[in-house]
Chains A and B, each alone.
Chain A
Amino acid sequence: MDWIVQGVLSFLATAAFGVIFNAPKRTLFHCGLVGMTGWMIYYAFIRQGVDEVFASFIGAFVISIVAHMLARQFKTPMIVFSVAGIIPLVPGGLAYNAMRTIVENDYAKSIQYGARVFIISGAIVMGLVFAEVFMQLIFNAIRKRKARLAKVSS
């Protein structure tokens, strides 16, 4: 039950973000799907007790890969799909705590939270980077293979 609720909510939230960022209307449904995929993977890892940093990394990685595939299918820029998708992974709660502890003059705690925000954002970024490199390697391999097949058949 919990899983279904999380899935539906993350789909709605990401599609709503698609509206805010003015994604093309025909891609809104898929924007939502991308966000749902990323969030469900993140949620599954968190539920297994995996660290947030790693869960964010995997979530961002999968989001970026799915976004690349959809971008090829729809012939649109890849950011259309990835931007809304990574929003749920943004460590809003930790950033809020970092801010709150600063206001409470508890700078030691605030630096702890701040460092955590920084590391998780870094993990999301690394997820995007790894996916980009990964997809480039795969597409290059596919292109080479197609070229070779074309040469053989002609």
Chain B
Amino acid sequence: MIETTQEELAIDCFLLAGRLLIQSGAETYRAEDTMLRMASSQGLTDAQSFVTPTGIIFSAGHKRPTRIAQISSRTTDLEKIAFINSVSRKLTAGAITLEEAYEELIRIEHTNLFFPIWVQVLASAIASGCFLIMFNGIWNDVPYAIVIGGVGYLIFLAMHFLTKVKFFAEFTGSLFVGLLSVLVYQAGLGYQLDKIIIGSVMPLVPGLPIANAVRDLMAGHFVSGVAKGMEALLTAFAIGAGIALVLSF
């Protein structure tokens, strides 16, 4: 069994790992599992954790204080999840000490692992163009889908950065996708309005909440599963509302 100051550090370390996992968009059961594995590798065998998308409750066992970590924002950052996963693997295997793990987690928290903005915009532009053809579009419309998809995603990122209101970024993104598509169509450049809109709006689709909601529900985490399912549904509604607003004129 570890001593008191060590114990504080250990609990801090587990909470940080759990919080970073949820913030990067990991499944709830992965966060719980990771924290408990790390805890039992440090001799805290009767630890308990309760994870929801907005907060973590972690108890190290009898007579030890229960701690809470608040989670205010969530993004999609698969690389961070993979990094924390490997830190937890190394700690459980005994390859690194608790202090090293904690330092590494703090370093992970403060590094920005995302691709540069222009790479992300380029990626969504390419994805939009590809989806247009995959959904039986015609080659003539591809350049427009590429441009509109890129611009739509750029606006989405900008709004995400500017406002903290949830779903508003998706709404504005899809609104601009709709507007630009209609403009291109009215100007006689694009032929299939429907396909251009569908292709360009694809980068906004909430892929991670959908996949996570399912895995959480299957693992029996109904609170998180339903919450994430709702998040996915509301995001989809926000996208749909943006497009609907344009089409209704």
Q: A20-B124, A83-B207 are in contact. Are A13 and B81 (CB under 8 A)?
A: no
Q: Does A17 contact B (CB under 8 A)?
A: yes
Point out the residue from B85, B194, B197, B205 that lies within 8 Å of A87, measured CB to CB: B205
Whether A12 contacts B201 by the Cβ 8 Å rule is no
Q: B243 touching A96 by the CB < 8 A rule? A: yes
Q: Which A residues touch B89, using CB under 8 A?
A: 75
Q: Number of B interface residues, CB 8 Å?
A: 49
Which of A's residues lie within 8 Å of B, judged by CB?
5-6, 9-10, 12-13, 16-25, 27, 39, 75-77, 79-80, 82-84, 86-88, 90, 92-93, 95-100, 102-103, 121, 125, 128-129, 132
Known contacts A21-B78, A75-B89, A80-B81, A9 near B214 by CB under 8 Å: no
Contacting residues, chain A, for B119 (C-beta < 8 A): 19
Q: With the chains together, A75 CA to B87 CA distance in Å?
A: 12
Q: Which residues of B contact A18 (CB under 8 A)?
A: 78
Q: Is the CB of B127 within 8 A of A17?
A: yes
Find out whether the CB atom of B208 lies under 8 angstroms from the CB atom of A22.
no
What are 21 residue pairs bridging A and B, where the CB atoms are less than 8 Å apart in the complex? A10-B130, A12-B130, A16-B123, A16-B130, A20-B127, A21-B78, A22-B76, A22-B77, A24-B78, A24-B79, A75-B86, A77-B85, A82-B211, A83-B207, A83-B208, A86-B210, A90-B207, A93-B198, A99-B247, A100-B194, A103-B248
Contacts of B202 in A (CB 8 A): 87, 90, 92
A128 to B240, CA, bound (A): 25
For the complex, give the distance between the alpha carbons of A86 and B207 in Å.
8
Q: Which residues of A contact B133 (CB under 8 A)?
A: 5-6, 9
When each residue 46-75 of chain B gets 1 if its CB lies under 8 Å from chain A and 0 otherwise, what string results? 000000000000000000000000000000
Q: Interface residues of A: mostly helix, strand, loop or mixed? A: helix
Cβ of A105 to closest chain B Cβ, rounded Å: 10
Contacting residues, chain B, for A96 (C-beta < 8 A): 194, 197-198, 201, 243
Chain A residues with Cβ below 8 Å from B197 are 96
Tell me if A6 and B218 are in contact (CB < 8 A): no
Give the residues from 88 to 120 in chain B that come closer than 8 angstroms, CB to CB, to chain A.
89, 113-115, 119-120
Chain A residues positioned under 8 Å from B240 (CB to CB): 95, 98-99
Docked Cα-Cα span, A96 to B130, in Å, equals: 18
Given contacts A76-B86, A86-B207, A128-B214, 15 further A-B contacts (CB under 8 A): A9-B133, A13-B134, A16-B123, A17-B123, A22-B77, A22-B80, A22-B113, A24-B78, A24-B82, A92-B202, A93-B198, A99-B240, A99-B244, A129-B214, A132-B218
CB pair B76–A21 under 8 Å, yes or no, is yes
- List the B side residues contacting A95 at CB < 8 Å: 236, 240
Contact of A79 among B126, B134, B211 (CB under 8 A): B211
Docked Cα-Cα span, A93 to B202, in Å, equals 10
Cβ proximity bits B27-47 to A, threshold 8 Å, 1 near / 0 not: 100100000000000000000
